[in-house]
Amino acid sequence: MAENGELMPKTLEGQITMEKTPSYFVTREAPARIYSMSRATKLIVVVRDPVTRAISDYTQTLSKKPDIPTFESLTFKNRTTGLIDTSWSAVQIGIYAKHLDNWLQFFPMRQILFVSGERLISDPAGELGRVQDFLGLKRIITDKHFYFNQTKGFPCLKKAEGSSKPHCLGKTKGRTHPNIHPEVVQRLRDFYRPFNMKFYQMTGHNFGWD
């Protein structure tokens, strides 16, 4: 991330400049750097069930490195005691309350919007309505802009900006997840529960992951 935002385009009156980097939310130094660039910055973070997120993260890595260890062996520090390895990034990223704590040292909650990854799929227009409100924009995006793609299992834009063709998420999205033993999934659910509860409390929003 460039210091003082020299890589950001100039923003004119009435314009909003957006920048997307998934790793910011979990990078320790990011809040201070962004704050020093502009303390008025609004932050939008898409979050989803941390267990599904961890499995999805593993699926992405597996597609690039087919010889990595099993999900189970990476999840546990000690399989017998069921001790979760929190140093594994796929697990670490889903501890949202911990990362949010870091951001709240610099930005007030009113400048941060958490978008539900699940609702982005089940009700894209509704979630994007929240985004438009948060940014002080008129609600222009509605249900009529989307259709549900059965093959991908995701909503797609009927018409992309400047094109007459529909726009769907790329090939890397919507991959079939490997089968994970239910006991492993349950252990992860138990591990994340207290962190999820704290996150719901901090955001004033129940994401319904438990």
pLDDT tens per residue, range 123-145: 999 999 999 999 999 999 888 88
pTM, rounded to two decimals: 0.86
Best CA proximity match to 11, nearest among 57, 48, 42: 42
Which has more confidence, 9 or 33?
33
Q: Are 97 and 198 in contact (CB under 8 A)?
A: yes
pLDDT tens per residue, range 141-200: 888 888 888 776 778 888 766 666 777 866 656 667 888 999 999 999 999 999 999 999
pLDDT tens per residue, range 52-71: 999 999 999 998 999 999 99
Annotated binding residues for 3'-phosphoadenylyl sulfate, as ranges?
A: 48, 56, 173-177
Annotated binding residues, as ranges?
A: 48, 56, 173-177
Amino acid 171: pLDDT: 62
Locate 207 and state its tokens.
């994401």
Instruction: Please give the average per-residue pLDDT across 30-50, as a whole number.
Output: 96
Distance CA 122, CA 76 (A): 32
Amino acid 9: pLDDT: 64
Mean pLDDT value across the chain: 89
CB-based contacts of 167, cutoff 8 Å, min separation 6: 156, 157, 159, 160
